[in-house]
Structure 1
Amino acid sequence: MSQIATTRNAGNTAFYMLLGVSIAHLLNDAMQSVVPAVFPVFQQQMQLSFAQIGWVAFTLNVTASILQPLIGYMTDRRPMPLLLPAGMAFTLLGMLGLAAASHFWMLLASAALIGIGSSVLHPESSRVAHLAASRSKGFAQSVFQVGGNTGQALAPLMAAFIIGPQGQLGFVWFSLLAVAGIIVQSAVGRWYAGQIRLNAGSRHGAGRSDGRRFGKGFIAFALTILILMLFSKFVYLAGMTGYYAFYYMEKFNLPLERAQICLFALQFAGMAGTFLGGPLADRFGRQTVIWFSILGTAPFSLLLPYAGPVSSIFLCVAIGLILMSGFSVIIVYAQELLPGHVGTVAGLFFGLAFGLGGIGSVVLGGWMDAVGVSAMMKLCAFLPLLGLFALLLPKDSVIMAGGKESAA
């Protein structure tokens, strides 16, 4: 009985650590997502162009992306628990920088610090989720990812009710979230360090290979399709989170607070979609959920530019619910293609997500300056149609059969 109780307690502790990294993901993404949510505030106070707004978003997203694959690769070889609280420390500095920013370059520097903090957090936290999950990898990735989506959902409300009344000084309150994140990640890091010592030399440790191998051409083709799906998803989201508030205010002549309700609806529904994505993939297959999460968004995205102020909210709910259901599934699919590279895959795909969003923000900001807000939003509406290419992804049965053959 004592052994059973010990095993049960270990399982409970692992689940609490999974919740811990999910909470840290929530805090990180709330702070990161509040930056584009308050672009109208920065634009008014500093008289910024849409292109400059795009460069702030680019800096935030690119710094959040370039380090992630490298950190993932390094931690696959040598796990680094201290990176968990260190990432939050960078974000803390970025929040304080935004509170004091008075020039464009200060915005860029603060955005870079927040991006670095995010790039440090994601690969190693994803490894902790993978380790804590035991055999339920899809569920664990969904729990971890839903924390981030919850933070993204809360960001527009935080922007409306904290930054709105207080202006830039409201970012001081967000620094408290970073301090809370440091505390949570420090506790997770201690457990993680213990698990590393416990699993030292074990072939079943986090990130080790399970014997599956696929041909390079097979992997390259599948990864190309997955990256195209990320492009469609995150460039569209960059347009929504960074610029839809401008479109909403211009079209309906309504204040920023009303526009943020649409973004909250998008992100809150996305939180639910992320949580449902894993179980749906278990039931209907990962390939099916991936293509539906992109292509299934298209009817609603195409209608959104022509909807009224109330119906826009409901369309944002549908877009968020469908579009965000596939990201955790994409990561698990890619990890099965590249077993033994959990951190590298997580870093690569989180990095690509932020990088594509950053590049998209710059391009879309330039388009807005050139053709106007309305035309740019109508062009963005076609991006989810790229989900058609996901139908070319290898079926789940092919992935499993390839794994069994190579293991044999």
Structure 2
Amino acid sequence: MATKSSPFTGNPVYPVMFAIGGVHLLNDSLQAVIPAMFPILEDSMGLTFTQLGLIAFALNMVASVLQPVVGYFSDRKPMPYALPIGMTFSLVGIAGLAFAPQYWMILVFVICLGFGSAVFHPEGSRVSFMSAGSKRGLSQSIYQVGGNSGQALAPLISAYILVPFGQRGAAFFIFVAALAIFILMKISAWYKEQLIQEKKNNRKKVLLSSIGNLTKKQIGVALGLLLVIIFARSFYVISITNFYIFHLMESYGLSISKGQLCIFLFLALGATGTFFGGPMADKIGRKNVIVLSIALPIPLCALLPYVPLWAVIVLLGAIGFIIMLSFSVTVVYAQELVPSKIGTMAGLTVGLAFGMGAIGSVVIGILMDSIGIYQTMIVISLLPIIGLVGLWLPRDQKIVAS
């Protein structure tokens, strides 16, 4: 992939930008197989909601814990070929998942998927940042919309692959993982070439921040506020993607396939919101987009448990679009808070999203087993209120590339 680049400032490298976004779609479609299998596993293995929550916990916790670690070490010593190596672990995980006959084996192969994801995300975000030039919001949006589009496939995977073919339908995604490895080999070659050129020219990376000079204490407070926002958003999104299907089946009498189409609407419009969020942040500011994305959905989320089915469809689409506007923006905001730690900040923010998904899956599963599905959805509907702490984030300004 011989493409002239100007890392960190200057012209964007669009072929690399779109290639890493495309692989993010492939990677997250592999992960999307897990929640897509929940209704299948509940029926075929008789698993409880708590056991399903533990499957999601195993996937997301491994990914969340390791992502900042991978980011930290790659900041110290970049690892271009870690990308295809990590994807190989995902290939092993998805192949094993398709044929695992027992619950404990499912957990083991899910952990393999989590490890592959932990390696891919911070390094993929670094490639996105390197190819962005001065278009950081746009580049991160392309990268993250790829991932969110992959996640959005979960309902369709369930409805059109796993429902007719069962657990073994997951074997189809072996080919998806293989394609991702092929593309990542090309991207890794470009990544390596940038490092060689940088060393040869003794070129120092120019890292511009839109936030300005903050004290260590101010940076720490801002990161803390940002992580609270990610907690609220991730906890809510995981409740919809993994468990809202059971509410649709119980309260509205929908079949698995029809219920999954409602979830697909939420995720598809969420992916659309992710794409628009980055360019919007480049124009009106990162903080403004973050605050809007968490404040506007609050009344919609509060109404969702009480409305008829037609309104559910409308609200799910609106909530998905608005709440995901800030998904890529929070990553870029964190990277600009600590611009010398690009991989670490990507690993921390995206890793936290996975971690909150892990914890949220267990908590939601326990709640649904103990107080019921409908009551759990009412509790979850209030979560976005926590994200209003974003009002206290430091303001940012427009970057002018040199």
Instruction: Pick the TM interval, shorter chain.
Output: over 0.9
Query: What is residue 279 of structure 2 aligned with on the other side?
Result: 279
Partners of 1:295 and 1:386 within 8 A in 2 = no
Query: How far apart are the structure 2 equivalents of 1:231 and 1:20?
Result: 29
Query: What is residue 17 of structure 1 aligned with on the other side?
Result: 16
Query: How far apart are the structure 2 equivalents of 1:124 and 1:293?
Result: 26
Q: How does 1:218-367 map to 2 (within 5 A)?
A: 218-367=218-367
Partners of 2:211 and 2:337 within 8 A in 1 = no
Q: How does 1:39-188 map to 2 (within 5 A)?
A: 39-188=38-187
CA 1:165–1:75 in 2, change beyond 3 Å: closer, same or farther?
A: same
TM-superposition CA deviations, 1:196-228 (whole Å, max 9, x none):
1011232127x7999965212101111111001
Partner amino acid, structure 2, of 1:41: I
Query: How far apart are the structure 2 equivalents of 1:210 and 1:339?
Result: 10
Query: What is residue 204 of structure 1 aligned with on the other side?
Result: 205
Query: How far apart are the structure 2 equivalents of 1:232 and 1:84?
Result: 29
RMSD over aligned Cα atoms: 2.3
Partners of 2:25 and 2:146 within 8 A in 1 = yes
Identity of aligned residues (%): 43
Query: How far apart are the structure 2 equivalents of 1:146 and 1:290?
Result: 16
Query: How far apart are the structure 2 equivalents of 1:380 and 1:183?
Result: 40
CA 1:61–1:309 in 2, change beyond 3 Å: closer, same or farther?
A: same
Query: How far apart are the structure 2 equivalents of 1:54 and 1:306?
Result: 25
**Please, what TM-score do these two structures have when normalized by structure 2?**
0.93
More deviation, 210-219/168-177: 210-219
Query: How far apart are the structure 2 equivalents of 1:295 and 1:32?
Result: 29
Aligned length: 394
Partners of 1:210 and 1:339 within 8 A in 2 = no
- Unaligned runs of 5+ residues in structure 2 are none
TM-superposition CA deviations, 1:22-48 (whole Å, max 9, x none):
011001111112211220111111111
Q: Comparing both structures, which one devotes a greater share of its residues to helix?
A: 1
**Please, what TM-score do these two structures have when normalized by structure 1?**
0.92
Partners of 1:59 and 1:111 within 8 A in 2 = yes
CA 1:210–1:83 in 2, change beyond 3 Å: closer, same or farther?
A: farther
Deviation at 1:263, TM superposition (A): 0.8
Deviation at 1:229, TM superposition (A): 0.3
Q: Aligned to 1:80, what secondary structure does the other structure show? A: coil
Query: How far apart are the structure 2 equivalents of 1:385 and 1:228?
Result: 11
Deviation at 1:350, TM superposition (A): 1.1
Deviation at 1:12, TM superposition (A): 9.3
Query: How far apart are the structure 1 equivalents of 2:138 and 2:236?
Result: 26
Partners of 2:97 and 2:109 within 8 A in 1 = yes
TM-superposition CA deviations, 1:374-403 (whole Å, max 9, x none):
000111000111122111111225x98xxx
Deviation at 1:309, TM superposition (A): 2.4
The list of structure 1 runs, each at least 4 consecutive aligned residues, that deviate by more than 4 angstroms after superposition, is: 6-13, 207-213
Q: Aligned to 2:131, what secondary structure does the other structure show? A: helix
Partners of 2:5 and 2:131 within 8 A in 1 = no
Partners of 1:50 and 1:366 within 8 A in 2 = yes
Partners of 1:212 and 1:339 within 8 A in 2 = no
Deviation at 1:139, TM superposition (A): 1.1
Query: How far apart are the structure 1 equivalents of 2:35 and 2:279?
Result: 31
Deviation at 1:84, TM superposition (A): 0.9
Partners of 1:213 and 1:338 within 8 A in 2 = no
Q: Aligned to 1:254, what secondary structure does the other structure show? A: coil
Deviation at 1:284, TM superposition (A): 2.1
CA 1:211–1:298 in 2, change beyond 3 Å: closer, same or farther?
A: closer
Partner amino acid, structure 2, of 1:253: G
Query: How far apart are the structure 2 equivalents of 1:330 and 1:210?
Result: 13
Partners of 1:87 and 1:120 within 8 A in 2 = yes
Deviation at 1:7, TM superposition (A): 5.7
- Unaligned runs of 5+ residues in structure 1 are 1-5, 401-408
